[in-house]
Amino acid sequence: GEDVEQSLFLSVREGDSSVINCTYTDSSSTYLYWYKQEPGAGLQLLTYIFSNMDMKQDQRLTVLLNKKDKHLSLRIADTQTGDSAIYFCAEKVTGGGNKLTFGTGTQLKVEL
Amino acid sequence: DTEVTQTPKHLVMGMTNKKSLKCEQHMGHRAMYWYKQKAKKPPELMFVYSYEKLSINESVPSRFSPECPNSSLLNLHLHALQPEDSALYLCASSQGLAGPYEQYFGPGTRLTVT
């Protein structure tokens, strides 16, 4: 089966960097995604990385992928209060259509 | 325009009612999805439509009936639901099924079954 694990909670101070981690088990992952969900809202796609890449940077967001360890991380630089939300990683596997397996979600709380 | 719209925003229904959820996108996407999300949990895939044909049904009970009348619209018909079906129902769309086609999500319909 496919299991995608994340730590449940992360608290950071405004202006610091946040690092949200994700581990997955399916080695046939092709793309890995990060989504943000604010309270009462749908999921907002933040970024994605192809499985043959190690890193992708997009403004304040940096995605790191360690395929050997099946570990994905999302770094948010200069974290702001508006970044407070639940963050889900998701993997798409070969032959799965466009089916995504979502991680358990990490609640990020940004304190002043 | 990367918007997926869903109506209604909130829905309260009794266990004997019949209601429908509606989803619409005008991005020219050919794949559309229904997800169910319980509080503090990740979304769970229910159905996938590709080119208006049902591609994936994740063993969803028949009291949930999807319909894709055209490439821009996706409905979810609800009948004889149970209280445990109360959840946020999310619709998503993507360009297709292969490749890195990102899924864009709507804001969801919060369903309460009484």
pLDDT tens digit string along A49-62? 998 899 999 999 99
pLDDT reported for residue B2: 64
The pLDDT of residue B97 is above 90: no
Chain B positions touching chain A (beta carbons under 8 Å)? 4, 6, 31, 33, 40-43, 45, 48, 50, 55-56, 90, 92, 94, 96-98, 100-108, 110
* Type of residue numbered A103: G
pLDDT reported for residue A3: 80
Question: Cis before residue B43, ω within 30 degrees of 0?
Answer: no
pLDDT reported for residue A1: 42
Query: What percent of chain B is predicted at pLDDT more than 90?
Result: 88
pLDDT reported for residue B49: 95
The pLDDT of residue B109 is above 90: yes
pLDDT reported for residue B98: 76
DSSP-derived letter for residue B72 is T
Q: How far apart are CA B32 and CA B2, in angstroms?
A: 14
What would the mean pLDDT of B64-91 be, rounded to a whole number?
A: 96
Q: Do residues B90 and B108 touch, judged by C-beta distance below 8 A?
A: yes
* Type of residue numbered B44: E
State the greatest distance between any 2 C-alpha atoms of chain A, in Å, as a whole number: 45
Shortest distance, CA B29 to any CA of chain A (angstroms): 13
The pLDDT of residue B76 is above 80: yes
The pLDDT of residue A42 is above 70: yes
Please name the residue of chain B whose CA is at the shortest distance from the CA of residue A49.
B100
What residues contact B56, with CB distance under 8 A and at least 6 apart?
A: A97, A99, B45, B47, B48
Asked if A33 and B102 come within 8 Å (Cβ–Cβ), the reply is yes
The pLDDT of residue B96 is above 90: no
Confidence of residue B29 (pLDDT cuts 50, 70, 90): very high
The pLDDT of residue B21 is above 50: yes
DSSP-derived letter for residue B114 is -
* Type of residue numbered B19: K
- Contacts A–B by Cβ distance under 8 A: 57
Q: How far apart are CA B55 and CA B32, in angstroms?
A: 10
Confidence of residue A96 (pLDDT cuts 50, 70, 90): low
Mutation choice for A interface testing from B50, B103, B112 by most A CBs within 10 A: B103
Query: What percent of chain A is predicted at pLDDT more than 70?
Result: 96
**Torsion angle defined by CA atoms of residues B70, B72, B73 and B74, in that order, rounded to the nearest 10 degrees:** 100
Please name the residue of chain A whose CA is at the shortest distance from the CA of residue B32.
A98
Query: pLDDT digits over A68-94, tens only?
Result: 999 999 999 999 999 999 999 999 877
pLDDT reported for residue A25: 83
Give the least confident one: A25-29, A87-91, B106-110: A25-29
The pLDDT of residue A29 is above 80: no
Nearest to A91 by CA among A101, A78, A80, A81: A101
Asked if A105 and B40 come within 8 Å (Cβ–Cβ), the reply is yes
What are residue A17's phi and psi, to 5 degrees?
Answer: -90, 145
